Amino acid sequence: MELSKLKQFIFEASRNTYASEDKDIRVKQEDSSTTIEYEKEDWKYHDNYFGGEPYGGREVVFYKGKPIWMMVYYGWVIEGNNPNDVYGILTKALRNSEIEMPYRGPKELLDGESKYINELNGEVDNFYGEEKIYKGDTLLYVAKYMGGLIDK
């Protein structure tokens, strides 16, 4: 499988799922988690997460029914800050991800006083990173993520 096609699908799936802000695609599960799915041709994306504050979850991409890639993530708003100051810029950052690093948001995004920063290490087959959101000089939010190809 070509890694460029995998990146293209992750890019498209992330824009059509959580980053889309479409609340109707979120399915609450019996275990209190939330699931979001996206499918196109031979590809399927499955995102399942727990919580809201803090939150944690995992994304899996399937190709022809076989799991081929995954990412795990965990994030939180720094105590004393308002989550409403965070999640608007976070979804905006996720909508503005780049095809070369479609896992979370771009390297940097400015939105008024808010600033999103994403530090990514590695490539689609094996990567890890951390994203942060600031309002002015105040750190509001941190999330860590890692992932890559599975079951090669």
Q: Where are the domains of the chain?
A: 3-149
pLDDT recorded at residue 56: 96
What local confidence, expressed as pLDDT, does residue 27 receive?
82
* Rounded-to-integer distance, Cα 113 and Cα 5, Å: 36
- Nearest-angstrom CA–CA distance, 9 and 2: 11
User: Could you tell me the CA-to-CA distances from 81 to 67, 84, 142 in Å, in that order?
Assistant: 37, 9, 12
pLDDT at 19: 65
Q: What is the pairing mode between strands 55-63 and 43-51?
A: antiparallel
User: What's the number of CA atoms in the CB half-sphere (13 Å) around residue 82?
Assistant: 6
Residue 108 has a pLDDT of 95
* This prediction's pTM: 0.88
Q: Are 90 and 73 in contact (CB under 8 A)?
A: no
pLDDT at 20: 63
What's the confidence (pLDDT) of residue 1? Answer: 66
What are the residue ranges in the chain where pLDDT is below 50? Answer: none
